[in-house]
Amino acid sequence: MERQTTREATRHGLELRAKVWLERDGAVVISDFLADLLEAIAEHGSMAAAAEAMDLPYRTAWKKLREMEAAAGFELVESASGGPDGGGTTLSEEAVELVDAFRRVSAPAIDAAREHFERERRGLGS
């Protein structure tokens, strides 16, 4: 099969998809999905409620959190059990900083890739 030219590919409705994630030693520290998980934990105050809000099995959410913590090298959540307020889970200060920094970096990187793609597409007359 002959390789499609960029002009033909663009004419056929191709759209750029880009993802950004941070790794340490080949292990994912944070991605959009993992940042969403941390934000859901912060919003809902528990891992179980965050998993439910994301329509994610609790076991999967817990596993992903532990993998992130291992890759990051620090704890991402702080949990309190029982008590008058019923306990709960919050993000560690480092986790809040990690999510904020990731969002500041990833959104502009993806926007730049999209803008570059659009310039290329316009240059091809599509």
Residue bearing the bigger pLDDT, 3 or 74: 74
What CATH code is carried by the domain that includes residue 64?
1.10.10.10
pLDDT, residue 4, reads 46
Q: Is the pTM of this model over 0.95?
A: no
The tens digit of pLDDT for each residue in 64-109 reads 999 999 999 999 999 887 666 667 899 999 999 999 999 999 999 9
Per-residue model confidence (pLDDT) at position 119: 85
State the residue range of the domain holding 106: 19-123
Report the alpha-carbon distance of residue 66 to residue 72 in Å, rounded. Answer: 10
Residue 6 is assigned to a structural domain of this protein: no
Residue 35 lies in a domain: yes
Q: Is the pLDDT of residue 30 over 50?
A: yes
In a domain, 38, yes or no: yes
Number of domains in the chain: 1
- What is the C-alpha separation between 1 and 83, in angstroms, rounded? 67
* 13 part of a folded domain: no
